[in-house]
Amino acid sequence: MMDESHFGRHTELRRLWACKGQRPVVTRQIKYQWDYLYGSLDVISGQARFFQIPSVNQRWDALSLKDLETTDPDAIHVVIRDQAGFPLRDGDPRLPARVRIIDLPPYSPELNPGEQLWDMIKDEIGNRVFPTIRELLQATLPALQRFWQEPARVLRLVGRAWLLDQANSRH
């Protein structure tokens, strides 16, 4: 599974606990400065891989897929992902030789566990102000690290029978 998300200095507002009758106060920042992460979650081994990029477009998509291909140069990498406007499609000549793409149905983000991953990470960095993008990315590292160090965590997120069926049905 592969997905991308933007992270920026525009504060992610999240729900908070507060005592009954008290309204929580959150400092909010509106700065339009963004960075992006690609994430790939292996539905078989539970390995997670993240690729930090400054923008989303077909050039960066090709580079992230090339990076994914290097994880096992002898394997055919079947990537299941959404149909956003910029990702390369299966058969595109810019795709790495050992990468195949399976598109999820349009307008169905709930089928991509990557969306849930980003939501969990944004929960951890929510309701905070970051003076720089670098500090924001540093704040995401502990959450990302849990996924790349604990394959069982990834497998709980992607452990859906239909994903395994789709990943193994094409080559």
Provide the pLDDT for residue 108. Answer: 85
Provide the pLDDT for residue 12. Answer: 83
Provide the pLDDT for residue 28. Answer: 85
Q: Residue 7 forms beta bridges with which residues?
A: 35
| Pair 41, 80: CB distance under 8 Å | no
pTM score, two decimals? 0.82
Provide the pLDDT for residue 92. Answer: 92
For helices 133-149 and 113-125, what crossing angle results, to 10°?
Answer: 130
| Pair 7, 31: CB distance under 8 Å | no
The CATH architecture annotation of domain 2-10+30-122+133-169 reads 2-Layer Sandwich (3.30)
- Tell me the one-letter amino acid at 105: P
From first to last of the 171 residues of the chain, give the pLDDT tens digit. 899 998 888 888 888 888 999 988 888 888 888 889 999 999 888 999 998 888 889 999 999 999 999 999 999 999 999 888 888 999 899 999 999 999 999 888 888 888 999 999 999 998 899 999 899 999 999 999 999 999 999 988 887 666 667 666 654
